[in-house]
Amino acid sequence: MKSKKGRILLVEDESQLVDIYHDFLEMNGYDFLSTNNIQEALQLTEFEQPDLVLLDIIIPKPENTIAEQGWEYLAAVKKNSQTKDIPIVVFTNLETHRDRVKSEKMGAAAYIFKRDCTPREVMETIAEIIKKDRERKKK
């Protein structure tokens, strides 16, 4: 049964952070999915059709090398006609202006700087974006 508020997919490798948001969002009535693998994320996005995706950019590769795989995910999602309308929120610790501009150019719905935001602030942003998105889809 899908939650009324929305289904959120979190693509994040830091497990403690996943736990925090799992608890917080479920407590507040959202459906919560998460993965730390890009391939799995792409599949989940297509099949589960979440209302919003929180995307971490720095996700290490399976061999444990540092990589910014988040960008690849974002590009792939926006290319896929089945998933291109799902709002993606870049949720990362990268904080340069360049990264913000890049997220916007690649079609992200918003940019959240992980370190300085509380779960509540993130949730409020999620709520706002989902609301706007639903309004837009009705039209």
Q: Which residues bind other proteins (CB under 8 A)?
A: 95-97, 100-101, 103-104, 108-113, 115-117, 121-122, 125, 128-129
Nearer to other proteins among residue 44 and residue 73 (C-beta)? 73
Q: Could you tell me the smallest distance in angstroms from the CB atom of residue 117 to other proteins? A: 5
Nearer to other proteins among residue 76 and residue 127 (C-beta)? 127
Nearer to other proteins among residue 44 and residue 122 (C-beta)? 122
Q: Could you tell me the smallest distance in angstroms from the CB atom of residue 95 to other proteins? A: 6
Residue pair 130/4 in contact by the 8 Å Cβ criterion: no
Contacts made by residues 74-77, CB under 8 angstroms, sequence distance 24+: 74/103, 74/106, 74/107, 74/108, 75/106, 76/42, 77/42, 77/45, 77/53
